Every structure is written in structure tokens, then in C-alpha cells.
Amino acid sequence: MTPSDELAVAIIGAGSIGTRHYSNLEFIPGNRVVAVCDADDAQASKLASRAGAQTYPSVDAMFDAESGLDAVLICVPPGIRRQVFERAAERDVAVFCEKPPADSLEHAQAVARIVRDSGILCMAGFNMRYLPPVQRMRELIAGRTINLALCTYLSAPALTGGFRPWFFEKARSGGPLLDQAIHYVDLMRYFVGEITSVHAFGSNVARPKGPGFTIEDTAVSTIQFESGAVGHHVHSWATPWGYTKFELNGPDFHLALEPAGDTPGVFGTIGDPKGEGTVVHDAFPRAASLGRDGSRKPDAPLDAPPDFMHYQEMVTFLDAVRTGDTSGILSTYADGMRTLAVVLAMNRSIESGQVEPVVVPAV
């Protein structure tokens, strides 16, 4: 493949995240979406009409008809992804897999072995690793001792809806921890290192469980790292005011990360435990190009990526597919399985009430 060749891409899952990825694909030169696969024909047709792509009701139908695919984006619920990897491996097609990597460790282990044995290029969708503020935080903490990691994420979908119904069915989505908190757990691993055990508690005070709503609306998790550091994560879908805070602390620093939001950046103090060290205020302004409905804002700068949160990971993936150079990939499937193991341990802990070990199966 030469740099001028156009990559043929398929999107599997035409919902919110598939549509957001397509907005970036439109913005990034050198690719063409040729296929959209979704069991919901109306949803698939809506996205395919934007792309000028063919629609397919099943993965098998798509792979049987599309012989020239270079890459697929998996944007369907985590329990139905193995089949895509099997067919992609048969054709040596690169795979971008949205988080979470799978719905169970057994499923993830099987997929990891497919990736390993076939040698296909694969990237897990932990998009926050690629954000400029996250990379800046990595630079600032390099060589420093971290003793405490704290994260809080508050939002309201358990009260207001706004997600497709399967997000509120724990058997399909894994609940807020597996679907969303996994991003912040992944950042903790990325910054602090491996997690060995967790103790989590769930709550349904705001919205009791019932038909169509089988998730915890709020959860808190205490975390033990292999290094000896500890952490705490609070995640709620039942608070009406959105709020996110991610902090790392050490004997000689305190840093707060704002990965996205209105003022992405890293803020805090480094160098003196008495608070008289160097002040850090590294902001990374961005233009919010997509509105809440996923459409581009009319006043967005022409050079602003449509979806800032997912743009750089998609550039990285497409570059790797085109060149074969995977050195820019920060989130392999095997590494994503380690983050998955942590969040599944959190869900187990909610059920057992006990400290749960984080066990990653061999590949």
C-alpha cells in the first residue's frame, strides 16, 4: 500500500459512537467508508447515506460481500465481537475495537488469542491515552513516586436517559463501570501501574433496579496498585450536575488532569510538599465542533476535528493500518484486557461485598 492509497473501512455498529467515529473519518483524508453493518436497518441506512456506503444486516454478509476491506471499526455491544475478529483474521483486516474489549475475561482471552495467532493489527479504543493533556501528565510524573490516585465522575443518564436501552441492562453493557468508568481505570493503570485488587460498593438509592434497568446507578471503588499506591474511584449516573475530577498525588507533587471538558489541561504543583513548588498550569484549548446531537456546529473552526475526544486515536489507527508501523498504538488489545480485568473485579466486588483480586488470564 502506498501513502496515496485510500483505505477501505467498514463500521460495525451505526449508533452514537459509530457515528462519531465517522465524523472524524470524514475529516481525515485517505480513507473511505464502504460498508456499514447494523441489525437496525434504519440506523445503518442513516449513517451509510452520509458515507455513500453499502449497508449490511450481519457481519457475515458484510465480509462475504466486501473483499477489499482494509479495516473495520467495532462499535457494537461488547458481548458480540468475537465473530468480527474471527472474520477479520481470515481476511487479514485490521481491527479497531471500542472499549470495553469484551464482556468477560473468557471472551477477551479468546479474542486476544485470535489477534496473537493471526497477527492482525488491532487497537483497543482507550481514546484518553492519546489526548494531549494525558501525554503531558505522563511527562510531568515521569520518575516521580505516586502514592494516591483519585477520580470522580458524576452524570445523570440514570435519571434523564439519553442512551440506547441496552446501556441500562447490566448483562449487555456491564453497567457504568464497564461501559464508562473503564476509561478512568485505564488512565490509572497508564499513570500508576498495574492494579492487584479492588473493593467496590454499588447503590440504587436514586433509581431502584427493575425491568429495563438492572445496573447500579452509583458505585465507589477502592484500588490497590502493585506499586503499593492506593486509589479511589467514584462513578455515578444519578447526579444531575456533571462533574469530573482526576488527581494524582505524590510526596512532592499534586496534579489534577482535565482530559476534555471546557478547559483540558494539567494543573497543580510540583517540587515542594509544603505547596511552595512550581505551579503547573498547562492548558490545551480545543474547539468543541460537535453538538450534543452529533452534528457539526455551524460556527466550529474549519480546522477543528469534529470529535476531539476520538480524533487522535483514529489518526493513529489509520496511520498504523497504512504504514504497518504500530509504534504509535498506546492501547493494544492485550493491554486493554488488563483494564477489563480490573473493572470486572469491581463488578464482582459489588456482588460479593468482598475485596476481589484482579486476575488476568494468560494469552
Domains of the chain: 7-128+325-329 (3.40.50.720), 131-297+338-357 (3.30.360.10)
* Helix residue spans in the chain (DSSP H): 16-27, 41-51, 59-65, 82-91, 105-118, 132-141, 157-160, 170-173, 175-176, 182-192, 308-323, 333-352
Half-sphere exposure of 282 (CA within 13 A, CB side): 19
Spatial distance between the Cα atoms of 177 and 249, rounded to a whole number of angstroms: 23
Would you say 122 and 115 are in contact if contact means Cβ atoms under 8 Å apart? yes
Give residue 267's pLDDT.
96
Integer CA distances (angstroms), 129 to 25, 152, 261, 304, in order? 19, 18, 15, 19
Q: What is the DSSP letter of 355?
A: -
Spatial distance between the Cα atoms of 157 and 80, rounded to a whole number of angstroms: 24
Q: What is the pTM of this model?
A: 0.93
Give residue 53's pLDDT.
98
Q: What is the DSSP letter of 180?
A: I
pLDDT in tens, the chain (363 residues): 555 589 999 999 999 999 999 999 999 999 999 999 999 999 999 999 999 999 999 999 999 999 999 999 999 988 889 999 999 999 999 999 999 999 999 999 999 999 999 999 999 999 999 999 999 999 999 999 999 999 999 999 999 988 889 899 999 889 999 999 999 999 999 999 999 999 999 999 999 999 999 999 999 999 999 999 999 999 999 999 888 999 999 999 999 999 877 788 999 999 876 767 899 999 987 755 555 455 556 665 666 787 888 999 999 999 999 999 999 999 999 999 999 999 999 999 999 999 999 999 999
Q: What is the DSSP letter of 179?
A: I
